[in-house]
Structure 1
């Protein structure tokens, strides 16, 4: 069962990073290097939480993070693209793979900007993607979004697409540390990486 982290303090900082599965093919006798895109690239989110009350949410957060080494953790993706009324986006068609995601249920003619994060829920698991080029929905609320990374599992028709409030789901990286000051304040840094 996934653990949804509560609201983090206002001064929390987030750093999103790509974890690439691409590799280089180097010819043994010289020649150009080829970059091979491979399924499995994903995102990780590094979080730095400033000192907060240990009695308040500090110790509870640490307990959730420790459980997050074996259970997935869900938290919002920091998104810098202004929110607009996207409608109720859903995957439009089963079995999609590759670097294009066809969706429907959008507000007609809404623009989805390049750099907008989204998450897709497939088989009870969230997968984060970034829109690779600005796309505008047609008059019926359908759009074909170029995305990175490529889809890691075949889609199911009408799967939920979290466009207005995307979330990352993954494991907390092991070996987390936290500090407790004499003032009973707790500060913690942690990373969440998508599991696939």
Structure 2
């Protein structure tokens, strides 16, 4: 897994939710029945403009390798300050659905609706999630929150939860990775799409 460290403010990210569920309609196009299935995940289209030739070369190298091994990068929080959460972990093994229990949070920390978090499994793979209903951390350092989407894997008790800086991790889409060189010997904005594998 290649961890992409982007040291530039010139980054455009276009996130999207990939819904695995569907609405089933009858032959007469009557009222539909929603079939909600676990497995919804995220992808992000990213365009990066880097200033120095060294930065551009390093990014291209990371993307070529990431195409083969997978890529992980910080998910942009758009100026929302999620810092100070402590060192949260999953409180209990094999949690399922949308409701999750956390522990080892900073007492009094407020998890707001719309916050992002990623949960790392035993192999270190991150799964990105969005908070639908938050909570204020109690004196015991615990909180219960509701996610916007279902958990995709049964995490172990104590699995790390990244609230301060969540990560998106997955495959770089497509069968090739391309970039455009200009006549001024510089690489124009480099674009790629990363989609969670699970």
- TM range, smaller chain: over 0.9
CA contact (8 A) 1:8 1:49 kept: no
SS at the partner of 2:68? coil
1:163 aligns with 2:170: no
SS at the partner of 2:82? coil
2:77 paired residue number = 79
SS at the partner of 1:7? coil
1:142 paired residue number = 142
Distance 1:36 1:51 in 2: 43
User: Root-mean-square deviation (CA), in Å?
Assistant: 1.5
Q: For residues 25-40 of structure 1, what are the structure 2 equivalents within 5 Å?
A: 25-40=24-39
**How far is 1:24 from its partner?**
1.4
TM-score by length of 2: 0.92
2:127 paired residue number = 127
Distance 2:106 2:162 in 1: 14
Structure richer in strand, relative to its length: 1
**How far is 1:84 from its partner?**
3.4
Distance 1:102 1:71 in 2: 32
CA contact (8 A) 1:52 1:185 kept: no
**How far is 1:128 from its partner?**
0.3
2:194 paired residue number = 192
Distance 1:62 1:122 in 2: 28
SS at the partner of 2:59? helix
Distance 2:115 2:89 in 1: 16
1:112 paired residue number = 111
1:41 aligns with 2:43: no
**How far is 1:36 from its partner?**
1.2
**Range that drifts further, 173-182 or 130-139:** 173-182
Distance 2:6 2:67 in 1: 20
**How far is 1:30 from its partner?**
4.8
Structure 2 stretches of 5 or more lacking a match? Answer: none
Structure 1 stretches of 5 or more lacking a match? Answer: none
